[in-house]
């Protein structure tokens, strides 16, 4: 049996490589992938060669233990079926539908501890959004929205929309979202945002928020300029959660008079860890429980805009790169189900 693995080989170049599959290790299972989701944020930084090359791909994920350097296999949202088990693994794993933080490939070995079985009632397509929903849940845990607050979300990609969906469940005074694309602004309104506007001058965003601006703002657009605007619309003593990873893109911030006097708190939020002030009561298992519940409630599979057979993965990345306004969530189908 052979497997096909997607490799980023150079700037804007990818290829599928075939390799023979060895026997299943005693303490592992073999998963045949059904589908994998492309990250329009992190993966496009890698595709465009905008990632730093001197850090690990992700030291918290076993399947991503290499450096961010070409040739690189990457990705972290696979759903598939266990088709073989090692001699030391319980037979009950055979046939299970599972999620894995694994690069894009047709088959892969994993320890059972690194797999998440799909709960009853969760479709494979909804499960593909688990990493993004985990990120959105983590944003709220880090931002600590309070009843009656005025909240702004900058960026309505998948993570921004999921963050909006979660915030809309709270009794906020005002939830204002900002994005350049009208189609995404319409989705935000459908999810429960009070307003969804195009990037404008900060005074207009503040007007939409009411009062003296945002108590809490989330910057999840991936655009450094949006972070400046998030700071600009946040009121005295407010919080700005920085959820974007900018890679090697330079970030120039206006930290002059208004910021200096307003005691705004900038919060770096990254999903691979849990904030120290919560980790005494929370671990990743508990957080995943919330994530599955939110996936069942939001049903994000409706955000899938394109599906490509894995053999045409190059076309999928080219589309996201050249026509980002036409895409939302792009999925690769591997045929393993």
Q: What is the mean pLDDT of residues 2-27?
A: 96
Find where tokens 């899938």 sit: 304
Q: What is the per-residue pLDDT across 42-51, written as a single tens digit (0 to 9) for each? A: 899 999 998 8
H or E element in which residue 150 lies: strand 150-154
The token duo for 126 is 């909804």
Give 269-296 pLDDT, tens digit per residue: 999 999 999 999 999 999 999 999 999 9
**Three-class HEC string of 230-285:** HHHHEEEEEEEEECCCCCCCCCCCCCCHHHHHHCCEEEECCCCCCCCCCCCCCCHH
pTM for this predicted structure: 0.91
112 vs 224: which has the higher pLDDT: 112
Estimate the share of the chain in helix, then strand, then coil, as percent rounded to the nearest 5.
35, 25, 40
Mean pLDDT of the chain: 92
Q: Which residues pair with 4 in a beta bridge?
A: 18
pLDDT value for 337: 43
Instruction: Give, in order, the Cα–Cα distances in Å from 205 to each of 150, 169, 214, 229.
Output: 11, 22, 9, 9
Task: Tell me how far apart the alpha carbons of residues 197 and 84 are, in angstroms, rounded to a whole number.
Answer: 50
Task: Please give the pLDDT value at position 245.
Answer: 80
Contact between residue 72 and residue 10 where contact means Cβ atoms under 8 Å apart: no
pLDDT of residue 63: 52
Residue 58 has pLDDT above 70, yes or no: no
Report the pLDDT value the prediction gives residue 120, as an integer from 0 to 100. Answer: 94
Q: Report the pLDDT averaged over residues 158-165.
A: 97
d(CA 63, CA 155): 29
pLDDT digits (tens, 9 = 90+) for 293-314: 999 999 999 999 999 999 999 9
Report which of residues 259 and 63 the model is more confident about: 259
Q: Which of 24, 25, 30, 27 is nearest to 82 (CA)?
A: 30
What is the reported pLDDT for 261?
83
Q: What is the pLDDT of residue 66?
A: 62
* Domains detected in the chain: 2-118+299-333 (3.90.180.10), 134-268 (3.40.50.720)
d(CA 267, CA 245): 13
> What is the per-residue pLDDT for 35?
98
Euclidean distance between CA atoms 132 and 79, whole angstroms? 14
Q: What is the mean pLDDT of residues 179-198?
A: 96
């Amino acid at each position: 049996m052979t497997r096909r693995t997607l490799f980023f080989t150079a700037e804007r170049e990818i290829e599928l490589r075939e390799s023979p599959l060895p026997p299943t290790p005693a303490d592992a299972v073999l998963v045949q992938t059904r589908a994998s989701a492309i990250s329009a944020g992190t993966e496009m930084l890698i595709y465009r060669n905008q990632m730093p090359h001197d850090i690990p791909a992700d030291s918290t994920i076993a399947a991503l233990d290499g450096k961010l350097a070409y040739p690189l296999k990457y990705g972290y949202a696979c759903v598939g079926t266990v088709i073989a088990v090692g001699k030391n693994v319980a037979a009950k794993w055979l046939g299970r539908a599972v999620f894995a933080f694994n690069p894009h490939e047709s088959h892969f070995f994993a320890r059972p501890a690194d797999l998440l079985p799909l709960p009853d009632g969760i479709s494979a397509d909804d499960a593909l959004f688990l990493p993004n929903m985990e990120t959105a849940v983590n944003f709220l845990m880090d931002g600590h929205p309070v009843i009656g607050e005025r909240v702004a979300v900058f960026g309505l990609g998948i993570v921004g929309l999921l963050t909006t969906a979660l915030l809309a469940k709270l009794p906020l005074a005002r939830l204002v979202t900002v994005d350049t694309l009208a189609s995404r602004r319409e989705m935000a309104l459908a999810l429960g945002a009070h307003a969804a506007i195009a990037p404008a001058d900060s005074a207009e965003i503040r007007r939409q928020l009411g009062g003296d601006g945002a108590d809490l703002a989330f910057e999840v657009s991936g655009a450094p300029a949006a972070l400046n605007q998030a700071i600009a619309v946040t009121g005295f003593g407010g919080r700005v959660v920085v959820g974007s990873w900018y890679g090697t893109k330079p970030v120039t911030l206006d930290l002059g008079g208004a910021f200096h006097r307003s005691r705004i708190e900038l919060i770096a939020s990254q999903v691979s860890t849990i904030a120290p002030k919560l980790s005494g009561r929370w671990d990743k298992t508990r957080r995943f429980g919330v994530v599955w519940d939110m996936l069942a409630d939001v049903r994000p599979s409706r955000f899938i805009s394109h599906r490509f057979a894995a053999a045409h993965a190059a076309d999928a990345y080219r589309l996201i790169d050249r026509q980002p306004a036409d895409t939302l969530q792009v999925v690769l189908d591997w045929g393993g189900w």
